[in-house]
Structure 1
Amino acid sequence: MNHRILYPFADFGDAVVVQPGREAVRNAPRHPESDRDGDDALVTYFELARVMERASRRFSGLLRTELTKLGVDDIGSAQAMVLLAIGDAELSVGELLDRGHYVGSNVSYYLKQLADGDYIDRIASQRDKRSARIRLSEKGKQLCKSLREAAKSYERALSHGEQDRRNLETAFQTLHRLEMVWGSAARYGI
């Protein structure tokens, strides 16, 4: 792990940084959170959560930039993420809530904006007129396709070989596991 990436403004001096599991990091700077607890870990779950939150905000900014490049000014990055979450499926609102982390009132507002902009089609249920199924319209499909194409250029910039792809897969698996553990802990306790 390259600690200069995790802590770009830290002064490592002549620290020896080695692969995890082989030898401890010597002379590396400590963070106030880890010093306070007497913990030698350089990365805590709290710090990881903060990085994830910042990365999410930066990704939203990137989506806003891409939407602007595409001439889309009637929806924002949050609505674009809803479109990407829907994908090729036909979903109920409940199923959409399960796919993403939305507050019910927010997703209702987002879906209204997306329907008003003709990005989604709402199909009323034959059985229960109060519920509806949602799917992307042709306009929504085209926008998602354009956003995925734009994402490929960023993926190419980040991925320089098989090791980078494996690192991305490991990061995804770790974050997914954290999501599951933290979600269960929030619902049921530890």
Structure 2
Amino acid sequence: MTMTDDVTDLRREYLDAIKLIERLHRQFLEVVKTELDRIGVEDINNIQALILFNISDEELTVGELTNRGYYLGSNVSYNVRKMVENGYLVQERSTHDRRSIRVRLSDKGLDLCKEIDAMFERHAKALPGVPVEAGNLKTASTSYRDLERFWISLLNFGLRGV
């Protein structure tokens, strides 16, 4: 096998991985939406539910939420405003920096966070019944982190000489 074949194979695998990441993300959002429908929650969408889950018991600024970067294709400020309006988040000005607004889960938000956590627990318990092994998930996660570091290095430093 030549160097060109290796690069071609790597390119094909790289593009397949990117497509799979996108498809998995969309499917996962559908799973979350189905869970919200199952428990009768209609005043919050799947992305907002994941934002709540990721806030959990923390108190964060909108900037900190945005920097975490979990919210593909979403406007975090808009979603925070909607969750405040629907009673899932409490929004308060920082006592140290009056320009900064911090958010935390309300009781309603905490309740929904527990429901989402219960969904993840059910999923984890169901995984042994399908051909998904912890070691394979760990390997996949490691590969995704490697890709993340690669993309961050492209954004921060570019690929010199490429």
Pairwise same-fold verdict (TM > 0.5): yes
1:35-184 alignment runs, 5 A limit? 39-40=8-9, 44-102=13-71, 106-159=75-128, 164-184=133-153
Question: Are 2:88 and 2:108, in contact at CA under 8 Å, matched by a contact in 1?
Answer: yes
Q: Structure 1 residues 127 and 57, CA, compared in 2 at 3 Å: closer, same or farther? A: same
Output the CA distance in 2 between the equivalents of 1:122 and 1:62: 28
Measured against aligned partners, the alpha-carbon deviations of 1:76-130 in whole angstroms (never above 9, x if no partner) come to 1111111112111111111111222448981110001110111111111224333
Question: Are 1:119 and 1:139, in contact at CA under 8 Å, matched by a contact in 2?
Answer: yes
Q: Structure 1 residues 169 and 104, CA, compared in 2 at 3 Å: closer, same or farther? A: closer
- Deviation of residue 135 (structure 1)? 0.9
Structure 1: gaps of 5 or more residues: 1-34
Question: Are 1:85 and 1:100, in contact at CA under 8 Å, matched by a contact in 2?
Answer: no
Q: Structure 1 residues 93 and 152, CA, compared in 2 at 3 Å: closer, same or farther? A: same
Provide the aligned length of Structure 1 versus Structure 2: 156
Structure 2: gaps of 5 or more residues: none
Output the CA distance in 2 between the equivalents of 1:119 and 1:170: 35
Q: RCO higher in 1 or 2 (8 Å CA, sep ≥ 6)? A: 2
Q: Which structure carries more helix by proportion? A: 2
One-letter code of the match for 1:53?
E
Structure 1 runs of 4+ off > 6 angstroms? none
Which structure has the larger Rg?
A: 1
What is residue 185 of structure 1 aligned with on the other side?
154
Q: Structure 1 residues 129 and 74, CA, compared in 2 at 3 Å: closer, same or farther? A: same
Q: Structure 1 residues 173 and 140, CA, compared in 2 at 3 Å: closer, same or farther? A: same
What value does the CA root-mean-square deviation take over the aligned residues? 2.8
Matched residues, percent identical?
Answer: 39
Output the CA distance in 2 between the equivalents of 1:143 and 1:158: 23
Normalising by structure 2, we get a TM-score of: 0.83
